[in-house]
Amino acid sequence: MAIEKLPPQLANQIAAGEVVERPASVIKELVENSLDAGATRVDIEIEKGGAKVIRIRDNGSGIPKEDLSLALSRHATSKLKSLDDLEAILSFGFRGEALASISSVSRLTLTSRTAEQTEAWQAQAEGTEMAVKVLPAAHPVGSTVEAVDLFFNTPARRRFLKSDKTEFTHIDEWLKRIAVARRDIHFTLKHNDKTVRNYRPANTEIQYIQRLGQICGKAFAETCLRIECEHNDLKLSGYLQSPSAANGYSETQYFYVNGRLVKDRLVNHAVRQAFAQYAEGVSPGYVLMLDLDPHQVDVNVHPAKHEVRFHQSRYVHDFILQALQSAMSQSLSENYDSPNT
Ligand code: ADP
Ligand code: MG
């Protein structure tokens, strides 16, 4: 067979296989773009579990008219200029793939306005060459991305979508995790025209505990131990289920590295080890944020960025373990010392 260059849409659809698995992954990519654009409010609307309509509206910086079509093309990003940047990346995005991928497997429109522009513009990618049409539109400063009929042109993938309810649950679970991490952001979620989640900005500790209660359950929010620990360039903050309240396995196990939600065995291991002296075999709930020099962690391990790699994983593990152990022993000793003794 002769060698031929893939048409852009097909190349994007192939790349989409790694980034766009289901409605929840579309929402993840779009909301992360909103956060990267400095939005303080993100409104998510979906229909039929996201399979029919996904609409994300933000009040971020917007995209200048002349960049709209570029934003939809592959490997186009405003977040990365060199490999050096990648070594210290703090934005969610940097691969420049999400919009191109999503627009290759749905009917996507991008409407946006910057503070400098007096009017908004809307872009739409069409056909196998992904030519972009840009038209005037109405929109306040910020962006709305709408992805309709996900996988309409990739029937094999569409068949893998589960029931609306299951797809909704994936979206809801992801939103919980980002809402825990970004207390400063107002998030709303509407499903089939009904507002089902409303996470108001939590500017005080009390408001944040309320948000935690909404998301992780009252029992967790009311009894968890506060974690706050710094050592050299490592900082761990968050909440750990109290040993007296924990049993079995908790669903609330959220870990963030420099604000990015990751799945990591290292933290699970450290938590279980810290717990072992109080309750063997328990996998307690936690919400932990680790912040460290971005040079010390590689985020470019997986296209969906679910995993990271620490350069000094033993050091990070031991730091987390010690931070948890000292928080636990402190809380136990506080419980023993009554205020009158
Ligand atoms: P990446 O996030 O990796 O840069 P994307 O394909 O997700 O790639 O987005 C491409 C570019 O489009 C971004 O770099 C950004 O400049 C712009 N963009 C996308 N979504 C938004 C948004 N909601 N607000 C402002 N700019 C956006
Ligand atoms: Mg992105």
What confidence category does residue 95 fall into, taking pLDDT thresholds of 50, 70 and 90? Answer: confident
Residue nearest to atom 14 of ligand 1 (CA): 77
pLDDT for the residue 336: 64
Q: Is the pLDDT of residue 308 over 60?
A: yes
Average pLDDT, the chain: 92
Task: Ligand 1, residue 92: give the atom nearest the CA.
Answer: 2
pLDDT for the residue 53: 98
Could you please state the CATH topology (level 3) that the domain comprising 8-199 is classified under.
Answer: Heat Shock Protein 90 (3.30.565)
Residue nearest to atom 16 of ligand 1 (CA): 78
The C-alpha atoms of residue 107 and residue 318 are separated, in whole angstroms, by: 48
* Higher per-residue confidence, 60 vs 130: 60
- Ligand 1 pocket (Cβ < 6 Å) reads 29, 33-34, 37, 58, 60-63, 71, 76-79, 93-100, 143
What confidence category does residue 100 fall into, taking pLDDT thresholds of 50, 70 and 90? Answer: very high
- Distances in Å between the Cα of 220 and the Cα atoms of 54, 209, 264, 299, 332 are 31, 10, 21, 30, 17
> Phi and psi for 250 in degrees, rounded to 5?
-100, 145
pLDDT for the residue 339: 53
What percent of the chain has a predicted confidence (pLDDT) above 90? Answer: 73
Q: Tell me how far the alpha carbon of residue 91 lies from the centroid of ligand 2, in angstroms.
A: 9
pLDDT for the residue 214: 95
Where along the chain do its domains lie? 8-199, 217-334
Which of 61, 77, 103, 146 to probe ligand 1 with, by most ligand atoms within 8 A of CB? 77
Considering the domain 217-334, what is its CATH architecture? 2-Layer Sandwich (3.30)
Task: Ligand 1, residue 98: give the atom nearest the CA.
Answer: 6
Task: Ligand 1, residue 76: give the atom nearest the CA.
Answer: 10
Q: How many CB atoms lie within 10 A of CB 290?
A: 26
Amino acid identity of 245? A
pLDDT for the residue 196: 98
Q: Assign 254 to helix, strand or coil.
A: strand
pTM of structure? 0.92
Q: Tell me how far the alpha carbon of residue 321 lies from the centroid of ligand 2, in angstroms.
A: 33
Q: Is the pLDDT of residue 280 over 90?
A: no
What percent of the chain has a predicted confidence (pLDDT) above 70? Answer: 97
* Higher per-residue confidence, 267 vs 306: 267
The answer to ipTM > 0.95 is: yes
What confidence category does residue 51 fall into, taking pLDDT thresholds of 50, 70 and 90? Answer: very high
The C-alpha atoms of residue 6 and residue 89 are separated, in whole angstroms, by: 30
pLDDT by residue (tens digit) across 10-42? 988 988 888 899 999 999 999 999 999 999 999
pLDDT by residue (tens digit) across 169-188? 999 999 999 999 999 999 99
Segment 207-214 shows an average pLDDT of 96
pLDDT for the residue 281: 84
Q: Tell me how far the alpha carbon of residue 29 lies from the centroid of ligand 1, in angstroms.
A: 9
pLDDT for the residue 126: 83
* Higher per-residue confidence, 302 vs 101: 101
Segment 275-298 shows an average pLDDT of 91
pLDDT for the residue 116: 97
Q: Which residue has the tokens 């990015």?
A: 260
Q: Which residue has the tokens 């691969």?
A: 95
Segment 84-95 shows an average pLDDT of 84
pLDDT for the residue 304: 67
Ligand closest to 12 (CA) is 1
Paired tokens of 139: 């929109």
The C-alpha atoms of residue 221 and residue 287 are separated, in whole angstroms, by: 10
Which of 25, 81, 99 to probe ligand 1 with, by most ligand atoms within 8 A of CB? 99
Q: Tell me how far the alpha carbon of residue 77 lies from the centroid of ligand 1, in angstroms.
A: 6
Ligand closest to 80 (CA) is 1
Residue nearest to atom 2 of ligand 1 (CA): 93
- Read off the DSSP letter of residue 170: H
Q: Is 127 exposed, middle or buried (0-12, 13-18, 19+ CB in 10 A)?
A: exposed
What confidence category does residue 337 fall into, taking pLDDT thresholds of 50, 70 and 90? Answer: low
> Do the beta carbons of residue 92 and residue 73 sit within 8 Å?
no
pLDDT for the residue 341: 42
